[in-house]
Amino acid sequence: MAFTRKDFIKKTALLGTAGMAFSTAGCTIESESPSVPNSQKIKPQPLKPGDTLGLVAPASPIYQSSVFDQMLVDLKALGFQLKLGEHVRSQRGYLAGTDEERSSDLMAMFRDDTVDAIMCIRGGWGCNRILPLLDYEEIRRNPKLLIGFSDITSLHMALYTQSDLISFHGPVGKSVWTDFTKEAFQSITEKGTPSLFMIPSEFDDSFVVNSGKSRGRLFGGNLSVLSSMVGSGYLPSFKGAILFLEDIGESVYRIDRMLTQLKLAGILDELSGFVFGKCTDCSAGNNSLSLEQMLDDHIKPLGIPAFYGAMISHEDDNITLPIGIEAEIDADNRTIQLLESGVAV
């Protein structure tokens, strides 16, 4: 099915909280996880126009002052007030300051009653290093939206497992705020709409790995980061979950290596569904399997609905996904349907 960018926005708005009927024609797999109440998980308050975003750099810095300044202009244009972390401009090699500085900035934003939500300015590397320094009980007592992607994946996993907090895999501060990205972000963080996400035709390079529909808790993020967290104690149970992944600048054999790590850790075998967003600039190179061949090797034998090509990537147009909520995927139509809100509505 081909959908334009306008189709995406229209469909998202029209669906609202209503359910959607799916045709089972041609679907060979039905996979559904046990429906587990999510009442024990904490949903933050939704964003409102005029709210204050706390900006932090828990991983790498923005090196160019012009890029940093443009980020501030773009976020203000979205209608937000901004509060900068004390060390948000710090630079220590590839890190935005010491581990203590980055973790203290993040905790300060959770404690600050004038801050309504927290946005990470970029990914890079460094979030894994600060996980032991965070006060997860205090975060639980002061739940707020935390938004970001790429290296921020490790914070999403840790906040879910240690603080029971739903956080949001979405834009970072320096993201390009296209109409697509902005509409998706607002529908999830401000309206709390259980949206249906589909692939606009102009971005459609998708393919089906296994047909069918599946339902489960939605977990995921950057593959490199997730695979580095195996054995850490910060990953959730993936039993019956839908896993979504993305990555950038990795050769196919490295993607193969990281998926193999998830396989050997038993994670892939527990899933009810699988979505690989986009692997931006992931070249096959000479004497290599294609990305599609490699995904077939790892995912097809699982017998779960799976597809490649969702708008989850390091590219400009991206959807926002709440971590840990109930969702449904339809591999044949390459859609992700959120079945509940990620915010307290």
Residues marked as catalytic: 150, 246, 314
The DSSP code sequence of 84-149 is E-TTTT--BTTBSS-HHHHHHHHHHHHH-TT--EEEES--SS-HHHHGGGS-HHHHHHS--EEEE-
Report the distance separating Cα 28 and Cα 36, nearest Å: 25
Residue type, 56: V
Distance CA 79, CA 158 (A): 29
Q: Determine the Cα–Cα distance for residues 168 and 320; give it in Å rounded to an integer.
A: 7
Q: Which residue, among 124, 128, 126, has the nearest Cα to 149 in the 3D structure?
A: 124
Q: What is the DSSP letter of 271?
A: -
Q: Is 42 exposed, middle or buried (0-12, 13-18, 19+ CB in 10 A)?
A: middle
Beta bridge partners of 3: 200
Can you say whether the dihedral through the CA atoms of 176, 166, 344, 137 is positive or negative? negative
Helix axes 179-189, 5-15, angle to 10 degrees: 10
Rg (CA), the chain: 19
Residue 186 structure tokens: 């607002």
For residues 295, 300, 304, 307, the Cα torsion angle rounded to the nearest 10 degrees is 40
Helix ranges restricted to H, 172-274: 179-189, 223-228, 252-264
Phi, psi angle pair for 263, to nearest 5° = -65, -50
Give the integer Cα–Cα distance in Å for 122 and 58.
8
